[in-house]
Chains A and B, each alone.
Chain A
Amino acid sequence: SQKIEQNSEALNIQEGKTATLTCNYTNYSPAYLQWYRQDPGRGPVFLLLIRENEKEKRKERLKVTFDTTLKQSLFHITASQPADSATYLCALYTGGGNKLTFGTGTQLKVEL
Chain B
Amino acid sequence: EAGVVQSPRYKIIEKKQPVAFWCNPISGHNTLYWYRQNLGQGPELLIRYENEEAVDDSQLPKDRFSAERLKGVDSTLKIQPAELGDSAVYLCASSSGGGNTEAFFGQGTRLTVV
Contact = CB atoms under 8 A, between A and B. Distances in A.
A89 B100 contact: no
Interface residues of B, number: 28
B54 interface: no
Interface string A84-112: 00000101010101111111110000000
Is chain A's interface secondary structure helix, strand, loop, or mixed overall? strand
Interface stretch (B38-46, B63-71, B73-81): B38-46
Interface residues of A, number: 27
Given A43-B93, A102-B42, A93 B105 contact: no
A42 B107 contact: yes
B45 A44 contact: no
Given A41-B107, A46-B103, A49-B102, A103 B4 contact: no
B97 interface: yes
B88 to A, nearest CB: 14
B25 interface: no
A93 B31 CA distance: 13
Interface of A: 4, 6, 30-32, 34, 41-46, 49, 51, 89, 91, 93, 95, 97-105
